Amino acid sequence: MVQNKATSPSALDRLSNALDSGTFVDVRRMLNGLSSADVAHLLESSPPKFRQVLWQLVEVEREGEVIGELTDELRVEFLGDMDASEVAQITEGLEDDDVADILQQLPDRVTQEVLNAMDHQDRARLEAVMHYPEDVAGGLMNTDTITIRARLTLDVVLRYLRRHDEIPAMTDNLIVVNRRDKFIGLLPLRTLLVSDPGTSVREMMITDVVPIDVNTPATEVTRLFERNDWVSAPVVDSEGKLLGRITIDDVVDVIREDADHNLMSMAGLDEDEDTFAPVRRAAPRRAMWLGINLLTAFIAASVINLFQGTIEKVVALAVLMPIVASMGGIAGTQTLTILVRGIAMGQVERNNRTWLINRELIVGAINGFLWAVVVAVAASFWFGDPGIGYIIAAAMVINLVTAAFVGAVLPLVMTQMKIDPAVAGGVVLTTVTDVVGFVSFLGLATLVYG
């Protein structure tokens, strides 16, 4: 794997040394010699004070491209220091979807001022994108497309393309529309370049491509691109009228954001959490999730307290309790992760949910009995009491089966309730497996030793 030059130790060290020595001319030269994505990555990888100095050294004409590559949190931070005229200046030349992403981070008043500063055509195109939420196809699309008519010959199309200084990035197909701008089909560039110039577009175009509806969720768009190996895809409204196109670079951004969201949500953090956020911002965000976890811990502790008398009689129970709860938590997390991933990939449907739940119950039972035997033998020899072994074996089977059931059902229920299972699923699951594990283990012990 080739290491990104902006994040390599040598690049960071050279910039850091140049800043320390006060040679800002060298820093500016090195910084602006990097690509916009590399500069954005370097800014995200720097402490706040270092970051502000670097931003001041970025060339004005590159600020828009760099802003577009930053996370939402850093984007808001830098945009907050700009007025409407500065925002309008840095967004010149950017693609519509990138400008929309930037403007959506600004207060409505500033956004309107930026729109008013644009010419009528640019403003109309941008408002068409901003009309849609960023998590649907309309919010991802770019209106910069090349359209042609089916009656034209390929020779006419080639002459038409040569009139352009350049064609939009990632153009792999020309979009064929009728007089009312309704989508008809696609003419691949690879076909255009090698076919007889006298052939008509109608003869060579592809008509079996289904365009993306403008209200299609972004997650479904990513699945369509993955399934069909698309580089770009047309976007239409409910009547089939062409509105724009989505390109693979925007889809990759959605995939990365979803991955960040799932990873960070498991810890109760925002996907745009700044790695180098100052203490005053980082501490309050984490405190909220810790408070929720503390509440669930008190629930588990209150269950243990109900069996205080039994624990005092049989000290071995206090030693073995964490084993039952831990095994249930791990088993449940495995099931929860599988289901959340399946839901995210669109693989879990109504017709296969029952099969998945039954499969997880069987897996939970098999693993429960397997490890119950191991733990029972170990506990019996450890404490010289076969009764302890039977109790912890039964409790482990109960908890692992429960963990499998809850881990499978919980994400399905949360999805129906419009709750992200990646955010809240882990906390609920851990609470359930702790409570069931303690109740089953200590409850059985109370029956035997009470």
- Please name each of the domains of the chain with its CATH number: 9-135 (1.25.60.10), 147-247 (3.10.580.10), 279-449 (1.10.357.20)
Tell me what pLDDT residue 327 has.
92
Nearest residue to 391 via CA among 439, 435, 331: 439
Sign of CA dihedral 414, 419, 420, 423: negative
**Distance between CA atoms of 411 and 267, rounded to whole angstroms?**
17
Tell me what pLDDT residue 274 has.
63
pLDDT higher at 96 or 161: 161
Tell me what pLDDT residue 341 has.
82
**Distance between CA atoms of 260 and 269, rounded to whole angstroms?**
10
Q: Which residues contact 431 (CB under 8 A, 6 or more apart)?
A: 296, 299, 300
**Distance between CA atoms of 394 and 444, rounded to whole angstroms?**
8
Percent of residues, the chain, with pLDDT higher than 70: 89
159-177 pLDDT tens trace: 999 998 888 888 999 999 9
Nearest residue to 198 via CA among 156, 159, 254: 156
- DSSP codes joined into one string, 273-323: --TT--HHHHHHHHHHHHHHHHHHHHHHHHHHHHTHHHHHH-THHHHHHHH
147-148/173-177 β-pairing: parallel
**Distance between CA atoms of 100 and 43, rounded to whole angstroms?**
22
Sign of CA dihedral 11, 13, 18, 19: positive
- DSSP codes joined into one string, 186-210: EEEHHHHHHS-TTSBHHHH-B--PP
pLDDT higher at 216 or 253: 216
79, 48 Cβ separation under 8 angstroms:
no
Q: 177: helix, coil or strand?
A: strand
Of the chain, the end-to-end C-alpha distance in Å amounts to: 62
173-177/183-188 β-pairing: antiparallel
186-219 pLDDT tens trace: 999 999 999 999 999 999 999 999 999 999 999 8
Percent of residues, the chain, with pLDDT higher than 90: 36
In the block, which residue shows the tokens 């008519």? 149
Q: pLDDT grade, residue 13 (50/70/90)? A: low
